[in-house]
Amino acid sequence: MNVYRCRICGDPYLGEIVPSRCPFCGAHPRYFVPAYDYRTPGEVSLSKKTRENLEKALELEIGNSCFYRGAAKVADSEEGRALFVALSKAEAEHAGVVCKLLGTAKPEELYETGDCSPVHQENLDESHRRETRAVHLYRQFLEDAEEDRVREVLEALIEIESDHMGLSE
């Protein structure tokens, strides 16, 4: 058994091989390192523009996590509930990563249940819109980012949110 760490969320993973996606944040395998090689990212000095963009990213991740928590409660199948619970947890993990970059604590509202449609298919459609918006925004933020750590996180989030778009098609 090996111990790995995700360079995006920092969470450990136990397994014979690196997972196909981080079970916590969804990062792709290239972001995993053996635990003995892992180095906790240091504090990042953020430009004003990057800080503003990360604050927008945090708002988006909180809103998505809350939305998915609500959608899980009205899903029309066990698969739908599982999908929205998993997405809610991943988005909350993303919010935690952004909070680390900002040097702030996770906000309390991150764990609230958000508004959603009572119709499962409408929530799937909304999910796709939310993930598409996240990818679009994170690509813009990536263009503005000068900090290497921020660029790494945004690149990973773009990949992860793109993966999520495929779940609601």
pLDDT of residue 8: 97
Average pLDDT value for residue range 43-72: 96
Predicted confidence (pLDDT) at residue 168 exceeds the cutoff of 80: no
Predicted confidence (pLDDT) at residue 71 exceeds the cutoff of 80: yes
pLDDT of residue 169: 63
Q: Do residues 84 and 123 make contact, with C-beta atoms less than 8 angstroms apart?
A: yes
Average pLDDT value for residue range 122-151: 96
Indicate the pTM of the whole model: 0.94
Average pLDDT value for residue range 11-24: 96
pLDDT of residue 54: 98
